[in-house]
Amino acid sequence: MKRSHFLKLIGLSIAAPVFGQTSTKKNSKTNTNRDKRADDITNYGALSDGKTDASSAIRACLKANSSAYIPMTTHGFIAGDIVVNQSKIHGNGTLIRKNKSSYTLLTKGSNCEVNGIVFKSQGSKYTNGVSDIIIGESSKSIRIHNCKFESSHYCSISADKNSDSDLKLTYKSPVKSIVISKNIFSGKYSRALYLHSVEDLQIIDNIIKETLYDGIRLRQRIKKCIISKNLFNDIGIKKHQDSQDAIDTYWSGEELIISDNIIKNCSKNAIEVKGVSPDSTGATGKVVISGNEILNTAYSAIHISSGASKTTKVKDFVIANNIIKKAGTVGAKKGNAAIFIRHGVESLVISSNIISENNSRGIFLANLEKDQGAIKNVTISANNLVDNGNKDEGYAILSSGVENCIISANNIENKNGLQKVAIAITDQKDKSSKAVISSNIISSNHKETILYNKKNKNIKVVNNLIN
């Protein structure tokens, strides 16, 4: 049977080829038009030529649709001052904030989403006081995810008016239910994220690196907040006196959870929690810092205080199951420690942390500021403290002037010889320490295993094992 007869029997036919054209190739122009999305901004005149402003086209697209699709192009789309109101910006393309615009996108209303966009700024020159995305006052249910932020200006995402002072932040009505997830922040930002007046905030599974100052800065009136599973690297790459912390907060919310983050290479602190607002009008209710891995910070890995307030106390803190190594690269000056509790903190548990190889104290509790509130009701238990110190001094645990401190069931080892004192309890002026030191396991090669004023009857030392 001939091949042509066989094909006819099974219902197939052979089209005769046309000279200069294959039978399977579609007209590329027709196919592109057929497949283009209805919300593609190029349908509305947006050009990606590196010089044309696409802002009007994006606004027209959002007016006609509930979303705007940003396609991938060679040059990206120049745009600025785009209001996203109950809309979605999505795609795999690039938005370039045009010069003289104070933002690329501003969310308003509720149920706004930004997904998959690359954000850049025109040129490489740093611009102060502007953002890629501003979460507008009273915004609700905002999701920003799967984006890349590569701009060179003040911050990527903000919920403020970019004031020159924390006390001048102006939102009267908070933003609510914000999710920032699976983004990469790699631009030269002063702060990758700068947020205040936010209720129910989640910052999860992001990469934040090479910021000039802070990775995340939170300010007053932020209620429940979760910062989890993020990677921070090279935070604070510009030498400066301002804070250069992975997470820097003036916290005055209901609950703050910082968990399961990896934090590496900070020019100051990894996590700093100042437990009240800058104006001292509110204090925190609950803070949990757990499961984080912190490596190589210039000052402390975890630094907690009641902020500038002389009267307000902060309470209900848990610091547990963290791994901290190589904190205090500048030494133990100014009270540096892997975990530094500075003043005004009450009801604190420090438990089950691995604190080792830090060029500073391991755990340090003290009020170093005049007339600030006392530290009260602290439990330090089941931590593993190894080789914390430098040639000038080395303490695994140093508690000074703390009212009611329990130090129990910790394992304390000195392998490199720099951790000279295992546990020290000292009194501050006009204060008398109260402590119980029990059931700790301490290696005997410390210069002092347990150092305290034996005349102080408020310090009880029992059942410790010195190997």
436, pLDDT greater than 90? yes
pLDDT band at 17 (very low <50, low <70, confident <90, very high): very low
Measure the CA–CA gap between 203 and 179, rounded to whole angstroms: 6
- Which of residues 310 and 289 earns the better pLDDT score? 289
Q: Where are the beta strands (DSSP E) in 189-268?
A: 191-195, 198-204, 207-209, 214-218, 225-228, 231-235, 247-250, 256-259, 262-266
10, pLDDT greater than 90? no
pTM of model > 0.85? yes
- Any idea which fold 109-126+145-466 has? Pectate Lyase C-like (2.160.20)
The token duo for 116 is: 């998959």
pLDDT in tens, 20-79: 343 333 333 333 444 689 999 999 999 999 899 999 999 999 999 999 999 999 999 999
The pLDDT of 372-385, averaged and rounded, is 92
pLDDT in tens, 312-344: 677 889 999 999 999 998 866 667 899 999 888
pLDDT in tens, 209-243: 999 999 999 987 788 999 999 999 999 998 888 88
Average pLDDT, the chain: 87
Measure the CA–CA gap between 358 and 337, rounded to whole angstroms: 8
Domain ranges of the chain: 109-126+145-466
Model pLDDT, residue 20: 38
Measure the CA–CA gap between 167 and 286, rounded to whole angstroms: 23
Instruction: Report whether 110 contacts 137 (CB < 8 A).
Output: no
The distance in angstroms from the start CA to the end CA of the chain is: 95
Measure the CA–CA gap between 380 and 298, rounded to whole angstroms: 24
Model pLDDT, residue 138: 92
Residue 362 dihedral angles phi and psi, to the nearest 5°: -80, -70
Q: Which residue shows structure tokens 């006609």? A: 64
- Provide the 3-class DSSP secondary structure of residue 32: helix
